[in-house]
Amino acid sequence: MRGYGLRGQVVSFSMRLRPLISLGCTFLCAFALAQDDGIGDPTFPTLGNKGYKATHYLLKLNYDPETAQLKANVTMEGVVDPSPLSTLSVDFSGFTVSAVKLNGASATFTRSGAKLRVKPASPLAAGSKFALETIYSGKPELIGSAALPPIYKGGWVAYPGGAVAACEPDMSHGWFPCNDHPLNKATFDVEITAPRPYVTVSNGIGKTIGPTTTHFTLDKPALTCMVTVAVGKYGILKQVGPNSLPITNYVPLGTETQYIEPLQVTPKFIQYLSDRIGPYPFASYGTITFPDEASKSNKLLEVMALETTSIPLFSPGSSKDAATLCHELTHQWMGDCVSVTNWGDDIWWVEGFAQYSEFMLAEMNGGKAAYDAAIKAAYASVSAQSHWLKPGHLPAADMFSLRSYIGGALTFHALRKKLGDEKFFQVVRQFVDKHRYGNASVKDWIEIATQVAGEDMKPFFDTWLYGDAVPKLPS
Ligand code: ARG
Ligand code: ZN
């Protein structure tokens, strides 16, 4: 498989192991569901909490790759909403918690499953602001996800010589206490201390604040799973993007020269996308290519690229692949700036549009002929099947499968054919603009497409997203 081989690799496993995974979920949900659990995502019923909204996280981390010990002090600032809370529960697993403070005062807490429950002395009033500080330490443990076959585990991934956090869709609570669902986007400050000569990096704009400490600020709301930290031996390659956008690339120390040429596509494609779907949404960009030791020690990291906000992650080599580089870059608009409302119903437009951007890259480089050839190959591979991929409603195990990537990408191609270039990009631009820094769903696509097209577009989306038969491409 060409451009999507790297990410597509997850596909075959998830398809084979699907029955096993869904059994596990039914079992778990029946036993673990407590009254305060779950923000309401049908695919991940116990994830998150709808009783409050985290607005900002301050993560103070101290990590020593030699001992693989993480010491953390995490403050979640939030607002209680909509009813008073007698228990504040957050998603969190692993580590030893030494203290929890609520609004500065020591608070009692319990832990069970993947929840940390804090009991305020008296209920928190509806609408009140709170600060929850959790102090913990230990050796980070990997966690799994219903979206991934059991051999893939993520969260804070330690490897000999460093660590990198890879968490999509629901593994962030394996290393920090959070409301671990896309409906609760928040801003982040991440302060990381590691001994020399390790380099530390996280999302947003970084500065050095001490001999071995850096501070990164992400001032636009991000998904918990799109927050990353990398500690390792990195060399740095800087670039400048459109409108003086600072771009910082972290590549394995000593391999810098191998990446100079492949990374040239980034500023060009930022410009290309900005011209079509709107300005790049964050104050900085960059990439982290983690070293061989990382991908050798963890299956998930073997083949992974991930759109962590403003600074996507790449397995070694995958950031030399222009299609993969541009795919994760496109996610900055689609997935990071505008995010899902629930995983199963919205992942198609996140992965589908990022995959579609690989066709746009072919078009940027080789014009219409190259674009048509890429589409033809993708459509041929699926139209030979008796069943359509119908990407619109996916079980956890299919979230990162051909169904979302190729089914979603072809849906965007069909939309472009139906509307023509001008109206198609108008729809995408309006979608990103209207929902920037928030969440959106298929309803929002239908609404904007209908308005731009001047005709009811629901039948079109029904066919491409939910129909059983392989749809015919509009002529
Ligand atoms: N969003 C990633 C991509 O751009 C998906 C990688 C699949 N693995 C995962 N843990 N989510 O393709
Ligand atoms: Zn993707």
Farthest-apart Cα atoms in the chain, separation: 67
The pLDDT of residue 6 is 33
Whole-number Å distance, alpha carbon 304 to ligand 1 midpoint, is 7
Pocket of ligand 1 (CB under 6 A): 7, 10, 148, 154, 168, 300, 304-307, 327-328, 331, 354, 400
Whole-number Å distance, alpha carbon 122 to ligand 1 midpoint, is 42
CB 116 within 8 A of CB 100: yes
16 vs 443: which has the higher pLDDT: 443
Measured CA to CA in angstroms, residue 268 lies from 242, 316, 329, 365 at distances of: 8, 22, 11, 11
Task: Retrieve residue 202's tokens.
Answer: 């996280």
Which atom of ligand 1 is the closest one to the Cα of 327? 4
22 vs 133: which has the higher pLDDT: 133
Whole-number Å distance, alpha carbon 305 to ligand 1 midpoint, is 6
Measured CA to CA in angstroms, residue 81 lies from 51, 115, 177, 224, 354 at distances of: 5, 19, 19, 19, 34
The pLDDT of residue 475 is 80
Total structural domains within the chain: 1
Whole-number Å distance, alpha carbon 363 to ligand 1 midpoint, is 24
| % of the chain with per-residue pLDDT over 90 | 90
Whole-number Å distance, alpha carbon 99 to ligand 1 midpoint, is 34
Using the predicted structure, report yes or no on whether residue 89 has a pLDDT greater than 50.
yes
Residue pLDDT, tens place only, 128-170: 999 999 999 999 999 999 999 999 999 999 999 999 999 999 9
Q: pTM of the prediction?
A: 0.93
Using the predicted structure, report yes or no on whether residue 9 has a pLDDT greater than 70.
no
State the Cα–Cα distance between residues 130 and 53, nearest whole angstrom.
10
**Nearest ligand to residue 7 Cα:** 1
Using the predicted structure, report yes or no on whether residue 402 has a pLDDT greater than 60.
yes
The pLDDT of residue 8 is 41
Which atom of ligand 1 is the closest one to the Cα of 145? 10
- Which is nearest to 59 in space by CA: 203, 195, 171, 166? 203
State the Cα–Cα distance between residues 249 and 259, nearest whole angstrom.
9
Using the predicted structure, report yes or no on whether residue 57 has a pLDDT greater than 70.
yes
Using the predicted structure, report yes or no on whether residue 27 has a pLDDT greater than 80.
no
CB 253 within 8 A of CB 235: yes
The pLDDT of residue 20 is 27
Which atom of ligand 1 is the closest one to the Cα of 148? 10
Residue pLDDT, tens place only, 58-79: 999 999 999 999 999 999 999 9
**Nearest ligand to residue 409 Cα:** 2
- Which is nearest to 65 in space by CA: 293, 254, 256? 293
The pLDDT of residue 131 is 98
The band of 202, judged by pLDDT with boundaries at 50, 70 and 90, is very high
Residue of minimum CA distance from atom 10 in ligand 1? 168
The pLDDT of residue 122 is 93
Using the predicted structure, report yes or no on whether residue 22 has a pLDDT greater than 90.
no
Whole-number Å distance, alpha carbon 330 to ligand 2 midpoint, is 9
The pLDDT of residue 36 is 65
Whole-number Å distance, alpha carbon 329 to ligand 2 midpoint, is 9
State the CATH number of the domain containing residue 431: 1.10.390.10
Using the predicted structure, report yes or no on whether residue 454 has a pLDDT greater than 80.
yes
Using the predicted structure, report yes or no on whether residue 53 has a pLDDT greater than 60.
yes
State the Cα–Cα distance between residues 473 and 108, nearest whole angstrom.
59
User: Quick one: average pLDDT of 295-315?
Assistant: 97
User: Quick one: average pLDDT of 105-110?
Assistant: 97
The band of 280, judged by pLDDT with boundaries at 50, 70 and 90, is very high
Task: Retrieve residue 147's tokens.
Answer: 């979206």
- Which is nearest to 407 in space by CA: 475, 327, 463? 463
Task: Retrieve residue 230's tokens.
Answer: 């990398």
Nearest-10 Cα torsion for 200, 205, 209, 211:
30
433 belongs to a structural domain: yes
Task: Retrieve residue 5's tokens.
Answer: 């081989």
Mutation choice for ligand 1 from 4, 7, 153, 353, CB with most ligand atoms inside 8 A: 7
174 belongs to a structural domain: no
Q: Which H helix or E strand runs over 322?
A: helix 322-331
**Nearest ligand to residue 314 Cα:** 1
- Ion ligand 2: residues, CB within 5 A, are 351, 354
Using the predicted structure, report yes or no on whether residue 4 has a pLDDT greater than 60.
no
Beta strand segments in 20-161, E: 52-64, 69-80, 88-91, 96-102, 105-106, 108-112, 115-119, 129-138, 155-159
CB atoms near residue 57 (< 10 Å): 24
Whole-number Å distance, alpha carbon 469 to ligand 2 midpoint, is 25
Its domain, for residue 394, covers: 340-466
| Mean pLDDT, all residues of the chain | 93
The pLDDT of residue 18 is 25
User: Quick one: average pLDDT of 374-381?
Assistant: 95
The pLDDT of residue 239 is 98
The pLDDT of residue 219 is 98
Residue of minimum CA distance from atom 7 in ligand 1? 400
CB 25 within 8 A of CB 146: yes
96 belongs to a structural domain: no
Which atom of ligand 1 is the closest one to the Cα of 152? 10
Using the predicted structure, report yes or no on whether residue 366 has a pLDDT greater than 90.
yes
The band of 111, judged by pLDDT with boundaries at 50, 70 and 90, is very high
